A and B are shown apart, each in its own frame.
Chain A
Amino acid sequence: MLDNQSQVARDAVLKFRPQINARRHVNRLCLAADVPLVESGTTGFLGQVTVHVKAKTECYECQPKPAPKTYPVCTITSTPSKFVHCIVWAKDLLFSKLFGDKNQENDLNVRSGDASSSSERSEDVFVRKLDEDIDQYGRRVYDHVFGYNIEMALSNEETWRNRNRPRPIYIRDVLSAALTQQNGNTENTKTEVDALSVSAMVSLGLKNPQEVWSLVENSRIFLEALKLFFSKREQEVGNLSFDKDDQLAVEFVTAAANIRASSFGIPLHSLFEAKGIAGNIVHAVATTNAIIAGLIVIEAIKVLCNETSNYRMTYCLEHPSRKMLLMPVEPFEPNKNCYVCSETPLLLEINTHRSKLRDIVEKIVKARLGMSLPLVMHGAALLYEVGDDLDEAMVANYSANLDKVLSELPSSVTGGTVLTVEDLQQELSCNINIKHREEFDEEKEPDGMILSGWSQALTTENHKTSPAGNGTSTSSQAVPVEAVVDDELEMLTGGTETLPLGKKRKISDNLNASSISEEMSKRKAEERELDSHVVVLEESMDQGNGKKKRLQ
Chain B
Amino acid sequence: MKGEELTEQETALYDRQIRVWGVDAQRRLSKSHILVSGLRGTAIEFCKNIVLAGVGSVALNDDRPVTEEALSANFLIPSDGETLVGKTVAEVCSESLKDFNPMVRVSVEKGDISSYGADFFGKFDVVVVCCYSLAAKRMVNEKCRKLSKHVAFYTVDCRDSCGEIFVDLQDYAYTKKKFDETTECQLHYPSFEEAISVPWSSLPKRLSKLYFAMRVIERFEDVENRRYGETSSVDLASVLKLRTELCQANSANESQVPDSLLGRLIAGPSEFPPVCAVIGGILGQEVIKAISGKGDPVKNFFFFDAADGKGVIEDISSNA
Which residues of A come within 8 Å of B, CB atoms?
Answer: 1-3, 44-45, 207-210, 272, 276, 281-291, 293-298, 301, 312, 314, 316, 318-320, 323-328, 508-518, 525-526, 539-540, 542-544, 546-547, 550-551
Whether B20 pairs with A283 at a CB distance below 8 angstroms is yes
Contact of A326 among B15, B20, B99, B310 (CB under 8 A): B310
Can you list 20 contacts pairing A with B, beta carbon distance less than 8 Å? A1-B307, A3-B272, A44-B20, A272-B15, A272-B18, A285-B20, A286-B52, A290-B45, A290-B284, A294-B273, A320-B313, A324-B311, A325-B282, A326-B278, A327-B310, A327-B311, A513-B310, A517-B206, A543-B101, A551-B75
Q: Please name the residue on chain B nearest to A540 by beta carbon.
A: B16
Question: Beyond the given A286-B49, A290-B277, A511-B308, could you list 9 further A-B residue pairs with CB under 8 A, ordered by the A residue number?
Answer: A272-B15, A290-B45, A293-B277, A294-B276, A320-B296, A324-B310, A325-B298, A327-B310, A512-B258
* Contact (A286, B53) CB under 8 Å given A508-B308, A550-B75: yes
CB distance from B315 to the nearest CB of A (A): 9
State which residues 153-199 of B face A: CB under 8 Å: 160-161, 178-179
* Contact (A512, B309) CB under 8 Å given A283-B20, A287-B285, A544-B100: no
Contact of B308 among A210, A281, A328, A542 (CB under 8 A): A328
Whether B49 pairs with A543 at a CB distance below 8 angstroms is no
Whether A207 pairs with B17 at a CB distance below 8 angstroms is no
Whether B307 pairs with A547 at a CB distance below 8 angstroms is no
Whether A512 pairs with B307 at a CB distance below 8 angstroms is yes
Q: Please name the residue on chain A nearest to B208 by beta carbon.
A: A514
Among B19, B288, B295, the one with the most A-chain Cβ atoms within 10 Å of its Cβ is B19
* Contact (A209, B11) CB under 8 Å given A323-B314, A551-B75: yes
Whether A294 pairs with B16 at a CB distance below 8 angstroms is no
CB distance from B164 to the nearest CB of A (A): 14
Contact of B17 among A285, A328, A517 (CB under 8 A): A285
Q: Could you say which residues of chain B place their CB within 8 Å of the CB of A298? A: 274-275, 278, 306, 309
CB distance from B308 to the nearest CB of A (A): 3
Q: Could you say which residues of chain A place their CB within 8 Å of the CB of B277? A: 290-291, 293-294, 297
CB distance from B191 to the nearest CB of A (A): 22
Name B's interface SS. helix
Interface string of B257-292 (1 = CB under 8 A from A): 010110000000000111111101110110010000
Distance, CA A1 to CA B261, complexed state (A): 13
Whether A281 pairs with B309 at a CB distance below 8 angstroms is no
Among A207, A282, A291, A296, the one with the most B-chain Cβ atoms within 10 Å of its Cβ is A291
Q: Is the C-beta of B304 less than 8 angstroms from some C-beta in chain A?
A: yes
Q: Could you say which residues of chain B place their CB within 8 Å of the CB of A293? A: 274, 277
Interface string of B92-106 (1 = CB under 8 A from A): 000010011100000
Q: Please name the residue on chain B nearest to A320 by beta carbon.
A: B313
* Contact (A2, B99) CB under 8 Å given A283-B19, A284-B16, A526-B178: no
CB distance from B176 to the nearest CB of A (A): 9
Task: Give the number of residue pairs across the A-B interface with Cβ within 8 Å.
Answer: 170
Among A289, A298, A514, the one with the most B-chain Cβ atoms within 10 Å of its Cβ is A514
Contact of B53 among A287, A297, A540 (CB under 8 A): A287
CB distance from A270 to the nearest CB of B (A): 10
Q: Is the C-beta of B302 less than 8 angstroms from some C-beta in chain A?
A: yes
Q: Could you say which residues of chain B place their CB within 8 Å of the CB of A284? A: 16-17, 20
Distance, CA A324 to CA B311, complexed state (A): 6
Distance, CA A510 to CA B308, complexed state (A): 6
Q: Please name the residue on chain A nearest to B13 by beta carbon.
A: A543
Q: Is the C-beta of B219 less than 8 angstroms from some C-beta in chain A?
A: no
Whether B209 pairs with A514 at a CB distance below 8 angstroms is yes
Q: Please name the residue on chain A nearest to B162 by beta carbon.
A: A512
Distance, CA A318 to CA B289, complexed state (A): 11
CB distance from A83 to the nearest CB of B (A): 15
Which residues of B come within 8 Å of A, CB atoms?
Answer: 5, 8, 11, 13-21, 23, 45, 48-49, 52-53, 75, 96, 99-101, 160-161, 178-179, 206-209, 258, 260-261, 272-278, 280-282, 284-285, 288, 295-296, 298, 302, 304-314
Q: Please name the residue on chain B nearest to A549 by beta carbon.
A: B99
Distance, CA A508 to CA B306, complexed state (A): 12
Whether A326 pairs with B308 at a CB distance below 8 angstroms is no
Q: Could you say which residues of chain A place their CB within 8 Å of the CB of B298? A: 325
CB distance from B96 to the nearest CB of A (A): 8
* Contact (A288, B281) CB under 8 Å given A3-B272, A543-B14, A551-B75: yes
Q: Could you say which residues of chain B place their CB within 8 Å of the CB of A210? A: 11, 23
Whether A2 pairs with B19 at a CB distance below 8 angstroms is no
CB distance from B201 to the nearest CB of A (A): 17
Whether B16 pairs with A281 at a CB distance below 8 angstroms is yes
Q: Please name the residue on chain B nearest to A518 by beta carbon.
A: B206
* Contact (A2, B161) CB under 8 Å given A276-B19, A294-B278, A295-B278: yes
Whether A325 pairs with B302 at a CB distance below 8 angstroms is yes
Contact of B285 among A288, A312, A320, A516 (CB under 8 A): A288
Q: Could you say which residues of chain B place their CB within 8 Å of the CB of A525? A: 179
Q: Could you say which residues of chain B place their CB within 8 Å of the CB of A518? A: 206
CB distance from A76 to the nearest CB of B (A): 24
* Contact (A513, B280) CB under 8 Å given A208-B5, A323-B312: no
Q: Please name the residue on chain A nearest to B179 by beta carbon.
A: A525
* Contact (A286, B48) CB under 8 Å given A3-B272, A44-B20, A298-B306: yes
Q: Could you say which residues of chain B place their CB within 8 Å of the CB of A276? A: 19
Q: Please name the residue on chain B nearest to A2 by beta carbon.
A: B161
Q: Could you say which residues of chain A place their CB within 8 Å of the CB of B15? A: 272, 281
Distance, CA A120 to CA B21, complexed state (A): 49
Q: Which 3 A-B pairs have the closest CB atoms?
A: A326-B311, A294-B277, A328-B309
Q: Could you say which residues of chain A place their CB within 8 Å of the CB of B20? A: 44-45, 283-285
Whether A513 pairs with B305 at a CB distance below 8 angstroms is yes
Distance, CA A328 to CA B278, complexed state (A): 14
CB distance from B11 to the nearest CB of A (A): 6
Distance, CA A272 to CA B8, complexed state (A): 12
